[in-house]
Structure 1
Amino acid sequence: MPWNLLILPLVGGYFILTKCYIFKFHQQRLDRQRLIFESVLLGIALIVSTYLIRILFVKLTPDLIDIVHSYSPFKQPFALTSLISVGIAIFFTIVYNKFSEDKKWIRKAIDDVGNEFESLMKYSFDEESLLQFTLNNDKIYIAWVKELPIPSISPYVRIIPAISGYRKDDKKQVEFTTHYLSVYASYIKEGVVKYVDDLNTDLILDISDITTVSNFDPEMYKKFQEQLPTE
């Protein structure tokens, strides 16, 4: 096979790595050199597979292969085989993504290559547990995570706030000023919406503005607050 035709299966390998859910969310965290190296490996596997399929078709339907070659505008040897390898990569990726769930592979990517922040966001999303976000302006949100963070792609996190407030000047106590849950409950009770998600009260926080994030247990928070006056 002419060396210049190898660029096509390499493009196919790159397409699979960056678009197919199996690899996509892992590759977003890895460095560019490794992406190129793995694209080469996958491209080689792709062209070898396509070549084996070609051999099979030549043995089973030699007349059909001759007809295809006679109508093909590509006269260079193996040009059509190389082009088909890209088509196979695109077809496989589209079909697999259509019948697969991206959240499954996002979770796996977070487990494999995610950092502590992403792991905590994943836990909150899966368990529907509250987190406490403290921003660099001392604003505080008690909230649920609405979307799984994609490793190293988005600098933001989408949350559904339950309570918001701020840290007082001494930084030890928190003053909660807005309680969203009672508002959510009233809308649901009145039949305006069925679910909290329908209210579109999402907040998008810039990760760079978050100074701390932790699990929030209302009962534990209450016990700590009760201790503050005695101290």
Structure 2
Amino acid sequence: MFTGLVSAVGTVVSVAGEGDLRRVAIRAPYDPATIALGASIACAGPCLTAVSVEPAEGGCVFAVDAAAETLMRTTVGTWARGTRINLERSLRIGDELGGHLVTGHVDGLAEIVARESVTADAWGASERFTLRAPAALAKFIAEKGSVCLDGTSLTVNGVTGDRFTVLLIPHTLQVTTWGERQEGDRLNLEVDLIARYAARLAEARA
């Protein structure tokens, strides 16, 4: 489990393999001594397993394997050397739950259809993003509810049909990959866990 609070930004250093299995090596500022083999790390949203860890200058390089389901549902298949990704270590008992409960199981891809600056002050400008959700997932996205986009827990500001908006403050734009995002980019989307189960229970009752 995760919270959607990004703890570091990593950089892809290599991608190996083709077809239904890729091994991705990621440079990160984490202490390699704190990452056990088999540890779960959210990489731009998807929960992936560390299959190797090596010390590197300023942190470590860890590798993860992405199989067919992950490659089909997420952006992992598009990653290449130099791709920057949001990272989060798995939640530990006793940690502060500052975002919302995130499983790391990506539901689909959302597309950015607009980006606009809405406020500016001494700390920088906030940005409003409008995104389009896949039709099958739009029903799970509610105003003032939570979504996880590329591993970031965000509050939904508004919803119109299959489109929804989120607001990014300057701090989040600076410490995640959101500052780089532009119209046309596709992001890993995980809908709120509670919304998903509530909808399933409603369907069962019907």
TM-score by length of 2: 0.25
Higher relative contact order (CA 8 A, sep 6+): 2
Question: Greater helix percent: which structure?
Answer: 1
TM-score by length of 1: 0.23
